[in-house]
Amino acid sequence: MIRSDAQTTALAVIRDRRADLSEWCATIFDFGETAWREYRSAAWYVERLRAEGFSVEEASGGMPTAFCAEWSNGDGPVIGMYAEYDAVPGNCQAAVPYKAPRAGLGYQAGGHTDPHSGLGIAGLGGLLAVKAAMEHHGIKGGLRFTGEPAEKVRGSKPIHAAKGYYDGLAAMLSFHPFYMLPMCNTVRWDTHCGAAYSMVYRFICDEPENWGASDGAPIPQSHSAVRAPGANDALMTMIQSSKALREAMLPHQGGWSVSEAILTAGQATADNLPAGLAEIQYMMRTPTIAMAEQITAGLDRNAEAAALMTGCRWERHWVCKSRPGLANHAMAGVVWEALEGLGAPVWDEDAKEVAREIQRALGHEPMPDPFIEEMTALIHPERAEAILREDLPPSQLNSTSDDYTDMTWHAPTARFYIARPALRPPPTGAHPAWVMNALGGIPATIDPMVERAAQVLAVSALRLLEDQTARSDAMAEFRDRTGGGIGGEKWLGPLCDYDPPIHFRWPEYVQTARGRDWWIPSAMPGA
């Protein structure tokens, strides 16, 4: 691959800042903050970006842990990149080759699974390298870098999209650590991720005295008197009826999934009083919006029935409504050319020894080559597409779920994957979740992914900035697929018609008289 002088400069910048990227990735990993509560992570990015010369809007789109950073080197095309940094409750893992929570916490605290700590720092590394190359070589144009909280609940991108944060971009580059084969060291081709809906159902029992009441009935005076079942019972009724709904609906068409998480339960002041409040979040991933609407209608009916049965009223609050993704072959080709020229990440002997330590900790015989083969191989986008389609019906156009899809309707977008470290299967069974989480935090094992992803981002962005033909081809395809661009006859507008769902009882870290803790007390005994 013949690289431009600017691309060579950018790669040198990434090489020279390798230690910074490693330290930064470890920092975000250790924060381990979860959806809508990534306060330290967002503040860290804002401070770093301002120190690097970017102007930064904090709390972009009305989201306290989001941001939008911009930098310009004069009139010209603007390239978009982004960071994610949210972790997942119940996955607290230290950056060590054995099972252990981070210091002072228990396993139920937040931890990085995908890992978004590496995703975000790869984006930042690519961004800073492009900026340096643009300055050094006098390349006109600009960069926009958004901070995207709550990706695990598909939170920020539908909101940013609806508020115009992706409008006006010449291109958007979207990277993710590989999380399912064959999407490893490749670029998505035709089958992009699908739609996603998520909502919180809230049950409120604020008039328990009216449940089961009849004319002339005495005021309840004892613990044995009739009273409303209350919000906890409503929540349990909702869970059970919706599991039956899922079993009835999902087998009939492929590609649906519905999951739930209890946000609040209890809220009673005594054992003989009904719980006054309970909340449950649902997340659905579907190929189409029509499927998501159908499931939502079923969930609404279940919530109505659960409320009537338990003396409650109910509310539905949106967490996300995300569109299915739009392909762009021209963009995919630009990124694939960069990835093919750079090659797959390389893990050295230090990384392999970390992997062997994990195998020993699991009681397995350490392997000479402990990592899966796919980590160090490239797969052509069209070959990956063919493998992906083997398990999908011809009529299904989208598969799985990720909210980068909202970006695809506002700018020509490429979605690519770089391998994250993964161990070969054990002799029997499967690896516990902490193994992948640890590999995503230990510098020796995660840094190769971060560095390669940053390089692909930088080389791709500079290609688009320097090559007007590549840029024009991508925009022409975007306009063709949308029927004229944003607002075109085939364009699918934002579905977001709700405020940022930041006021719910999302899991988070709290400061108490006992010190800093997870919202479910989770400090290890003696910590």
Sheet (strand 142-148) strand order: 55-58, 67-72, 142-148, 78-84, 171-177, 413-418, 186-187
In the chain, the number of structural domains is 2
In a domain, 491, yes or no: no
pLDDT tens-digit series, residues 224-233: 565 788 999 9
Distance CA 448, CA 463 (A): 23
CATH code of the domain covering residue 9: 3.40.630.10
pLDDT tens-digit series, residues 93-108: 999 999 999 998 989 9
429 and 315 assigned to the same domain = no
Q: What dihedral angle (degrees, nearest 10) is formed by the CA atoms of 229, 230, 232, 233?
A: 40
Distance CA 97, CA 190 (A): 38
Q: Please, where are the H alpha helices in 100-207? A: 116-137, 156-162
Distance CA 395, CA 498 (A): 31
In a domain, 15, yes or no: yes
Q: Whole-angstrom distance between the N-terminal and C-terminal Cα of the chain?
A: 54
Cβ-based neighbour number of residue 481 at 10 Å: 18
User: Is 436 in contact with 95 (CB distance < 8 Å)?
Assistant: no
Residue finishing a domain among 482, 505, 520: 482
Q: Residue 327 pLDDT > 70, yes or no?
A: yes
Q: Could you tell me what percent of the chain has a pLDDT over 70?
A: 94
CA distances from 295 to 115, 246, 299 (A): 30, 9, 6
168 and 210 assigned to the same domain = no
Specify the pLDDT at position 410.
98
Please compute the mean of the pLDDT values over residues 469-486 and round it to a whole number: 98
Task: Determine if the peptide bond prior to 218 is cis (ω within 30°).
Answer: no
Environment class of residue 322 by beta-carbon count within 10 Å: exposed (0-12), middle (13-18) or buried (19+)? buried
pLDDT tens-digit series, residues 114-127: 999 999 999 999 99
Whole-model pTM? Answer: 0.94
pLDDT tens-digit series, residues 178-223: 978 899 999 999 999 999 999 999 999 988 878 876 655 555 555 5
Q: Please, where are the H alpha helices in 398-442? A: 433-439
Q: What single letter denotes the amino acid at residue 281?
A: Q
Q: Which domain holds residue 331?
A: 5-192+324-482
Axis crossing angle, helix 116-137 with helix 5-16, rounded to the nearest 10: 130
In a domain, 518, yes or no: no
In a domain, 527, yes or no: no
Burial 485-504 (b: 16+ CB within 10 A, else e): ebeeeebbebbbeeebbbee
280 and 228 assigned to the same domain = yes
Distance CA 396, CA 242 (A): 24
305 and 451 assigned to the same domain = no
Parallel/antiparallel/unpaired status of strands 171-177 and 78-84: parallel
User: Is 169 in contact with 474 (CB distance < 8 Å)?
Assistant: no
336 and 435 assigned to the same domain = yes
261 and 372 assigned to the same domain = no
CATH code of the domain covering residue 288: 3.30.70.360
Residue finishing a domain among 307, 322, 337: 322
385 and 466 assigned to the same domain = yes
Please compute the mean of the pLDDT values over residues 14-34 and round it to a whole number: 98
276 and 377 assigned to the same domain = no
458 and 336 assigned to the same domain = yes
Specify the pLDDT at position 266.
74
Nearby residues of 6 by Cβ (< 8 Å), 6 or more positions away: 133, 134, 136, 137, 139, 462, 465, 466
Specify the pLDDT at position 183.
92
457 and 348 assigned to the same domain = yes
Specify the pLDDT at position 243.
87
In a domain, 300, yes or no: yes
Specify the pLDDT at position 391.
86
List the structure tokens of 152. Answer: 């695990």
Specify the pLDDT at position 98.
97
CA distances from 507 to 28, 58, 125, 264 (A): 18, 22, 29, 10
Specify the pLDDT at position 209.
79
Higher pLDDT, 265 or 356: 356
Specify the pLDDT at position 265.
84
Task: Determine if the peptide bond prior to 115 is cis (ω within 30°).
Answer: yes
Q: Residue 248 pLDDT > 80, yes or no?
A: no
Distance CA 67, CA 127 (A): 15
Distance CA 264, CA 208 (A): 19
In a domain, 136, yes or no: yes
Distance CA 99, CA 95 (A): 9
User: Is 86 in contact with 151 (CB distance < 8 Å)?
Assistant: yes
In a domain, 475, yes or no: yes
Residue finishing a domain among 276, 294, 322: 322
In a domain, 54, yes or no: yes
456 and 329 assigned to the same domain = yes
Higher pLDDT, 400 or 354: 354
List the structure tokens of 433. Answer: 């979740």
Parallel/antiparallel/unpaired status of strands 78-84 and 142-148: parallel
270 and 354 assigned to the same domain = no
pLDDT tens-digit series, residues 251-265: 566 678 888 999 888
User: Is 184 in contact with 280 (CB distance < 8 Å)?
Assistant: no
Block residue for tokens 């009935």: 217
